[in-house]
Amino acid sequence: MALFQTIQTPAVTYEQPLGLFINNEFVPGVDGKTFETINPHNEKPIVAVHEGTEKDIDIAVQAARAALNGPWKQVTPSERGRLLTRLADLLERDAETVAAIEALDNGKGVSMAKGDVAASAGCIRYYGGWADKIYGQTIDTDAGSLTYTRHEPVGVCGQIIPWNFPLLMFAWKIGPALATGNTIVMKTAEQTPLSALYMGALIKEAGFPAGVVNIISGFGRTAGAAIASHMDIDKVAFTGSTPVGRQILQAAAKSNLKKVTLELGGKSPNIILPDANLEEAIGWVNLGIFFNHGQCCCAGSRILVHEAIYDEFLARFKTRAEQNKVGNPFNPETFQGPQVSQVQYDRIMGYIEAGKRAGAKVITGGSRHGGEGYYIQPTIFAGVDENMTIVKEEIFGPVCTVQKVRSEEEAIEMANNTNYGLAAAVHTTNINTAIRVSNAIKAGTVWVNNYNTLHYQMPFGGFKESGLGRELGSYALENYTEVKTVRVQLSKA
């Protein structure tokens, strides 16, 4: 099968790499396997890509190890930074193409995809800025010795990313890893392999030495599991579901105790108190749950509204949700496109049916949208109780529940009544309330009077079963460096 193919999208026509990206070349998999990626808008195959399995992971790890011990070691920190900023420039040069790939392969609206491209380029450039600012400490313990620390690269990093933000997750992962001098074996999600392969071509064009970044298209049970249990991978960074996160941690424990960072699921609360600016709060609540079709690990899926404003909130939120433009990702007006796959569509519809069966009230939505593609109506449930599946489990679709609370204390209690702890929000115009509630909520990010406003300068990650470690900001750098203490005994002479 070919290693490149011209692809026509409604926005651009471009050359799509199809091979595995190993040692700066696109190559077929050892077993000669391929798999198709599906356009969620029309349920038809876009193209087949080469599939990597355990053997290809081995080859990619060898390439990454050789680069780590060879050419990449010779690249100065400043030059690493220049390579990253050059990659960011190339991504911006090709922004329209990459946004079109995301819209085609993932189904997100092209306008949202352009936002992802800008955030990805920003993230890569930001970490380019960090590359020559990775310092240790000198530690004065006594006059007879010199003690200092070095922040050394961890080594070969396996990175496993999901399909909801294929490009952005790629950027979040490579940025801190490369800034700190590591090499990478990346496995993309089987639903959305295309944008990362395009990035492979840009990585080569930017001038990264061969083997520094290797990109494998493939499946979780084969290629993904091979990364998690590999004896020559020093660290694994994973973003995805909590059950798979557990498996990765177990595989790391059973193999070489590689370092693990996990960014997992959520069931994030979004609290609206009586003194909130209701118009603005409704806008953020809408964005909080329906952005990216609800396929966000930090989606604000549990909406907790004070009883004093509950009825008005619900009526106005319903009106707002019904105005969301659902449809073809290539329409620049589209806010919500199709879900990524048939599997996800079925899962979400299963939750909607479970909610109906349990007696929850559908305020709006609750059905498929249109006749073709994996489209689901923006769906709001009310009349739910704490034990319903739709209140407890992550749905990962355009489905939320609205619950009534009688006080700030009850809102906090309900907000924390979950095994997850990724994100939360509170809407209030009282600064004291805002800070009190933010401090009381067990979550990695708390938004006050906004939602989903991630930024590459801000750390992101989960409390409780939402993950281990932090991505983004300076915090992410800690996951990609080993601290070495050097103690020198000074001679008395």
Q: Which residues bind ligand ADP (CB under 6 A)?
A: 160-162, 187, 189-190, 219-221, 224-225, 228, 240-241, 244, 247-248
How many CB atoms sit inside 10 A of residue 492's CB?
5
C-alpha 209/C-alpha 79 separation (Å) is 12
Closer residue to ligand ADP in complex, CB, 187/404: 187
* Residue number, 20 or 282, with CB nearest to ligand ADP: 20
Scan for tokens 């193409």, then name that residue. Answer: 97
- Tell me the closest approach of the beta carbon of residue 120 to ligand ADP, in angstroms: 17
Instruction: Please report, to the nearest 10 degrees, the dihedral formed by the alpha carbons of residues 194, 200, 206, 211 taken in order.
Output: 170
Nearest CA-CA partner of 323 in 395, 380, 275 = 380
* Minimum distance of ligand ADP from residue 340's CB (angstroms): 8
Inter-residue contact 377 to 368 (CB < 8 Å): yes
Shortest Cβ distance from residue 169 to ligand ADP (Å)?
Answer: 9
Let me know if 15 is a catalytic residue: no
Query: Toward ligand ADP, which CB reaches closer, 7 or 226?
Result: 226
- Is there a contact between 84 and 179 (Cβ–Cβ < 8 Å)? yes
**168: its two tokens:** 């952005």
Structure tokens at 462: 């989960």
* Residue 118 to residues 101, 164, 457, Cα–Cα distance (Å): 14, 16, 14
Residue (98 or 237) nearer to ligand ADP, CB: 237
Among residues 102, 190, 263, 394, the one annotated as catalytic is 263
Asked if 263 and 386 touch (Cβ cutoff 8 Å), the reply is no
Q: Which is nearer to ligand ADP, 162 or 461 (CB)?
A: 162
In the complex, least distance from residue 242 CB atom to ligand ADP, rounded to whole angstroms: 8
Min dist. Cβ of residue 57 to ligand ADP (A): 11
Q: Which is nearer to ligand ADP, 128 or 162 (CB)?
A: 162
| Cα 98 to Cα 101: distance, rounded to the nearest angstrom | 5
Integer angstrom CA distances of residue 450 from 96, 278, 294, 314? 28, 12, 16, 18
Least distance between ligand ADP and beta carbon 295 (Å): 8
Outline where DSSP puts E strands in 337-468: 361-364, 379-382, 399-405, 423-427, 445-448, 467-468
- Which residues does the annotation mark as catalytic? 263
